[in-house]
């Protein structure tokens, strides 16, 4: 069936009101083909944002949600975050940040440390609980009305 794909939000060509390097890169970040670059004149360095993947599912009948994993790459390392969206018509409303991962030249893990799965009517997210990702968190979310709520959370060694 092609119709749902035509109505789906294109997160690779989307304007984001937040991003993983929020304090260094002003919002909105206007992604084109999944990329956005910004030169911070005060720091004399550049930041590159990328949409790494989009995972879609449904947390309630007749609804569509998506989780976008985005990275902010800087000269040595980077940070990744996963943002949940509720798709409404041709647009999307940010539900919140659901995971993050950070890395440097010799520490941490990149965006692959973030694992997203829709299971039934729940969203299962694994991410880093601490900056170097030696401890991971696993969180289960559900949609209550138009809000994303945590239904279970635990941490574990990586």
- Do 26 and 79 touch, CB atoms closer than 8 A? no
The beta strand positions in the chain, using DSSP E, are 15-16, 29-30, 35-40, 45-57, 64-73, 78-88, 91-103, 115-119, 122-128, 135-144, 147-157
38 vs 6, more confident: 38
Please give the residue range of the domain that contains residue 148: 3-157
Percent of the chain with pLDDT over 70: 96
pLDDT of residue 75: 77
The pTM of the full predicted model, rounded to 2 decimals, is 0.91
Domains in the chain: how many in total? 1
From CA 55, how far away is CA 71, in angstroms rounded? 15
pLDDT of residue 24: 75
Is the confidence at residue 21, as pLDDT, over 90? no
pLDDT in tens, 51-75: 999 999 999 999 999 999 999 987 7
pLDDT of residue 57: 97
pLDDT in tens, 71-93: 998 778 899 999 999 998 889 99
pLDDT of residue 62: 93
pLDDT of residue 43: 77
pLDDT of residue 3: 41
The residue-averaged pLDDT of 12-30 equals 89
Beta-ladder partners of 81: 70, 100
């Amino acid at each position: 069936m092609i119709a749902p794909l035509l109505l789906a939000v294109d997160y690779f060509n989307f304007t984001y009101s937040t991003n993983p390097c929020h304090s260094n890169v002003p919002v909105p970040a206007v992604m084109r083909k999944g990329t956005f670059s910004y030169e911070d004149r005060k720091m004399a360095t550049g930041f590159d944002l990328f949409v790494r993947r989009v995972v879609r599912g449904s947390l309630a009948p007749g609804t569509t949600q998506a989780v976008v994993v985005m990275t902010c790459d800087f000269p040595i390392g980077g940070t990744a975050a996963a943002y949940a969206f509720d798709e409404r018509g041709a647009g999307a409303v940010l539900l919140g940040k659901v995971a993050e991962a950070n890395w440097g030249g010799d520490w941490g893990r990149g965006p692959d440390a973030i694992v997203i799965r829709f299971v039934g009517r729940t969203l299962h997210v694994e991410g880093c609980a601490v900056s170097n990702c030696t401890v991971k968190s696993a969180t289960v979310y559900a949609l209550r009305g138009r809000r994303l709520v945590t239904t279970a959370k635990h941490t574990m060694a990586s």
